[in-house]
A and B are shown apart, each in its own frame.
Chain A
C-alpha cells in the first residue's frame, strides 16, 4: 500500500498552483472582477489554492472565444477530432497518478477510487467517443423513385455545461467528450466546491485543443452559473445537480428555446432476493460488496444504492453479514491507497448528512451502525468525515425518500417480487437500481419493472462508456454516455432532394 504525499510537499505526485485563472481562448485569463475565492481541501479543511471568481463578464468573454472557434471546429473532420480526443486520453493516462492525487485533494475521495475508477474511466470515455464518432453515419431515405432525404449530423455550435462536485473530472469528461466529438465548442463551469482539479487537468492537456474549443470559467452558481445557463448565446445547456436548479435551468432554457440535458439524482433501491443466500459462495460475497457500495465515493453518487431492500426470509442473516462488511470499511487518509472511504466534499455537505441522521432517528429509524462524524485526528481533524451509517426503517421515512448524498443507507424488508417492485418504485426518482438474484426470471422481471434509467443486475456502480445513463421521473431528462449521447449534441440536417425534372402541376 502507498500513502501519497500531500500535493506540493516533498515527493508529491503533483503540485497545485497558488492561484488559478479562467481558461478562455486557450490561455489563462484573470477574472474581470479581479476577485478570487479560497478553495479548501476536504481532507484537512485547509485552503490550498485560490480560484478565479467568475462573473457574467467572464462568461461573455468565454462565449466570445467559443463562438470564434466554433465554425472551424465544427468543420474539422471527425478523424481529426478523434485524434485530438485520443491524444488527450493518452496525456491523461501518462499523468494518471498526478491527476488522481489532484482529484483526491480537491474532492476528498479515496485515491484508490481515482486510480482505479475515476481517471481510467476518463481515459476510456475519451477513447470511446473518439472511436464511436467515426462509426456514426447519417441516413438516406428513398422517399420515392426521384426523391431522396439525406440526413446529416451537424454540431449545435456553442454549448454550456455545469459540472457537479462529486466526480469533478469524470463528470466534466462525460459532458466534454461527446460534445467535442460531435464538433461543438464548450463553456464549462466546474462546481465551486471542486474548482481546482479540472484546472490542473487543463494545464496538462490545454495545448492539445485549438484555442476557444474548451473554455472553463470558475465561480459561484449565482454569479457565473446563472449567466451561463440563462445566456442566449448557447445552443444547449447540460447540468448535473438537484431538482430546484434543474427546474430553474429549464426555465431559462425555455426562455431561450434551447434543449437541456438534466441529471438530477436519485434514491436508488438495491434489491436482494432470498436466493442470493442459497449458498455462501463467491456470488454471495459479491452481493455483500454490492450492498456496501453505498459507501463508494463517500456516498456522494447520484446513483448511490441508498435504499437496501432485503427479502424477509433472509433479512436478519443477510443484514448481519452486510453490517459486518460495512464495519470492515477502512476510513482514513484519502491519500492512502488502503483507505476505502475518505472525506465528504464540503462542510455544508457534512452538516446536511448529520441533519439527515438526526431526522432519521426522530422518525424512529433504528441506527444499526455508524451515525456520527468521524474525527480522524492529527492533520485530518479539520476534514469532513462521516462513519458509514446503516438505518433500518420504513420506506415512508424521509431518509428513505431523500437523497442524502452521504454514506447513509436505509434498509427495509419485502415479501416477494410484487412487494419489492412496489417499494422500489415508491420514490420520486428513477436514476439507478440494483437487483441481486440467481434466478433469471426474477432478475428480468425486476429489471423491467423498476422505473429507473439503469438497473444494475448482479452488479452495481459500473459506469462503462458504452452503456446509456440517465433518469426516469424526477431524476432528469436525457442520457449520458453511449453513442446515443452524440445525438444530444447534434442537430439533424435534412436535405430533401428531388431528382425529377417534372413539375408537380399545382401552379
Chain B
C-alpha cells in the first residue's frame, strides 16, 4: 500500500495511487462520488461514479469527503464517500482507505477500463481522536441500535 493521505478524525482516506486515478477520472468525467458496495462478486468494492449518477437517500450515510490534492493543471477537489446505512452499522468501527490495484472491472465503476480497481483497505478505529460514530458536517444520525 502506498502512503495514505489520512488526517486524524476522518474515517476515510485515499492513497496516492488512488488519488492519481481520481484525477484522471475527474478530467474525463467531472465531479465524482464513491458508493461502497456489499454482497456478491464485486461487492465490498468502492464504486466510483460521476457525482449524482447513483441516487443516494436516507438509506445511505456520507462517510466523509476524500481530499485529493491538486497536481499540475489539476486543482484540488473532494470526492464524497457513501455507504448504505445498514452496511455502515456493521462497518462503523473501521477506518477505510481507498487504494488502487491492477484488476478488471466491478459493476459500473469508472476506473475499470483503465485496467485498475479501487480497493478498500481497512483498519480498526482505535487511535485517539478518531470517530467512533459519525459527527460533524459530514454526518447522518444513525437510528438507535
Q: Measuring CB to CB, which residues of chain A are less than 8 angstroms from any residue of chain B?
A: 37, 53, 164-166, 191-193, 220-223, 225-226, 229, 240-248, 251, 263-266, 300, 302, 346-349, 351-352, 355-356, 358-359, 362-363, 396, 398, 401-405, 428-429, 474-475
Q: Are A355 and B42 also in contact (CB < 8 A) when A193-B105, A222-B113, A398-B91 are?
A: no
Cβ–Cβ contact B107 & A191, under 8 A? no
Q: Chain B: which residue is nearest A348 at the CB level?
A: B103
Select which of B39, B101, B106 is within 8 A of A403 by beta carbon.
Answer: B39
B37 at the interface (CB under 8 A from A): yes
Taken together as a complex, chains A and B put the C-alpha atoms of A413 and B86 apart, in Å, by 24
* B:86-144 near A, CB below 8 Å: 86-87, 90-91, 94, 101-110, 112-113, 117, 119-124
B interface residues, Cβ below 8 angstroms from A: 35-45, 47, 49, 53-55, 84, 86-87, 90-91, 94, 101-110, 112-113, 117, 119-124
Q: Is the CB of A363 within 8 A of B101?
A: no
Contacts of B54 in A (CB 8 A): 244, 247-248, 251
- Chain A residues closer than 8 Å to B40, beta-carbon distance: 164, 240-242, 263-266, 302, 403, 405
Cα distance A37–B39 when bound, in Å?
A: 27
- Cβ of B35: which chain A residues have Cβ within 8 Å of it? 244
A403 touches B86 (CB 8 A): no
Q: Which of A225, A302, A349 has the most CB of B within 10 A?
A: A349
Name the contact of A243 in the complex, choosing from B38, B91, B101 (C-beta under 8 A). B38
* A347–B41 CB distance below 8 A: no
Interchain CB contact (< 8 A) of A220 among B90, B91, B112, B123:
B112
Report the separation of the CA atoms of residues A240 and B107 in the bound assembly, to the nearest whole angstrom. 10
The answer to whether B37 touches A244, judged by C-beta atoms less than 8 angstroms apart, is yes
Min CB distance, A6 to chain B, in Å?
Answer: 21
- Does the CB pair A244–B47 fall under 8 Å? yes
18 A–B pairs (Cβ distance < 8 Å), ordered by A:
A191-B105, A192-B104, A192-B112, A221-B107, A241-B40, A241-B41, A241-B42, A243-B37, A243-B39, A243-B43, A243-B87, A346-B104, A347-B103, A352-B44, A396-B90, A404-B44, A405-B43, A428-B87
Residues of B within 8 A of A396 (CB): 90
Q: In the complex the two chains form, is A221's CB within 8 Å of B106's CB?
A: yes
- Please pick, from B103, B107, B121, the residue contacting A241 in the complex, using a CB distance under 8 A: B107
